[in-house]
Amino acid sequence: MAKVVLDANVIISAVFEGKPLEAVGRALKEHDVFISENIMEEIDEVLKRLSKKLSTVQILYLQERVRQLFKIAHRIPVSTRLSLSRDAKDNHHLSLCKEAQADFLITEDKDLLDLDAETLRKSGIACRIINPNSFLEIVS
């Protein structure tokens, strides 16, 4: 069973189906998924922004799916502070990967996907940063 960290945007995208939904579903059913308070807050902020664009029914559905994820995922505190990504907001995901000793970070974020494996290893992160499609290929 692998340890998996999900990027907040992959979690939100999963609600709209496609490969992110399939990847999140497989991760939750077959692996240990880790989340932090920071990522939960980021998801809440995205939901607030989406509430202006989506119908009430769509928002309620989104909120329920996210609540289910929060119940299943392992919530851990993150005290590590890394500065590896071009986008400073992405560094928290990397810190969570280090704290959880994650095997995978599933993301569609180019700044994270572009990070060099050697740079990650030197910072104590042994996980692979991959997109939902790659995760599905690996776990199939």
pLDDT in tens, 60-112: 888 888 889 899 999 999 998 998 988 888 999 999 999 999 999 999 999 99
Torsion angles phi and psi, residue 124, rounded to 5: 85, 20
Residue 128 confidence (pLDDT): 97
Residue 135 confidence (pLDDT): 97
Residue 95 confidence (pLDDT): 95
Residue 62 confidence (pLDDT): 84
CB atoms within 10 A of CB 45: 11
Question: What's the one-letter identity of residue 4?
Answer: V
Which residue matches tokens 């505190």?
77
Confidence check: pLDDT of 30 > 90: yes
pLDDT band at 54 (very low <50, low <70, confident <90, very high): confident
Confidence check: pLDDT of 29 > 80: yes
Out of 1.20.58.60, 3.10.105.10, 3.40.50.1010, 2.40.50.140, select the CATH number for domain 3-139.
Answer: 3.40.50.1010
Confidence check: pLDDT of 17 > 80: no
From the list 28, 106, 32, the residue with the least C-alpha distance to 74 is: 32
Torsion angles phi and psi, residue 105, rounded to 5: -115, 115
